Amino acid sequence: MGLKDFLWADDVKQQKVEEVYLIAHPMPFDMVEQWLGTVWSVAVQSRNVLMDKIAKMKDFVGGQIGAYTALVNNTISDCYSELARKAADLGANAVINIQIQHAPMALASEGAMICVIIYGTAVKLRLT
C-alpha cells in the first residue's frame, strides 16, 4: 500500500501547501522515513467594529453571517500556510495527525475575534 492509497481516499481530508502534504490522520509507521517534531501555527484575527455591529443585527434576525464565515475560513487558511512553511523549514514533506482548535474571543464586549491553533507532527514520508 503506497502513499496515494492514503492521500486520495474518500475519507481523508488533505491538501498540499508549499510542497508539504497536510494530512488530518495518522500514517502507518512504515510510511514515515523520519520524525521531525511537532509544528504549530496560531492566528488571531478580528473584523472591524462596523462589521461587528452589522453582525449583531444579523444575529437578532437570524441567518448566516458571511463576514464571520469568511473570517474563520481565512484564519484557518493562514494557519495552514504557516504550518506548511514551518514544516518545510524542518525539511518535512508532510504534517500528519493535524488537529485544529479554535475559540471565539472578545474584548470588553466590543468586537469579535477568532483564535485558531493548528498543530501536527512534521515528518518525511516515503513517497514511493
Distance in angstroms (rounded) separating the CA atoms of residues 101 and 115: 8
Distance in angstroms (rounded) separating the CA atoms of residues 97 and 32: 12
pLDDT digits (tens, 9 = 90+) for 3-33: 555 554 444 445 565 689 899 988 899 999 9
pLDDT digits (tens, 9 = 90+) for 72-100: 888 899 999 999 999 999 999 999 999 99
| Per-residue model confidence (pLDDT) at position 11 | 42
Going from N- to C-terminal start, the domains of the chain cover 3-121
Q: What kind of architecture, by CATH, is found in domain 3-121?
A: 2-Layer Sandwich (3.30)
How large a percentage of the chain has pLDDT more than 70? 70
| Per-residue model confidence (pLDDT) at position 105 | 72
Distance in angstroms (rounded) separating the CA atoms of residues 51 and 49: 5
Distance in angstroms (rounded) separating the CA atoms of residues 68 and 11: 27
The helix (run of H) or strand (run of E) holding residue 102 is strand 94-106
CB 38 within 8 A of CB 119: yes
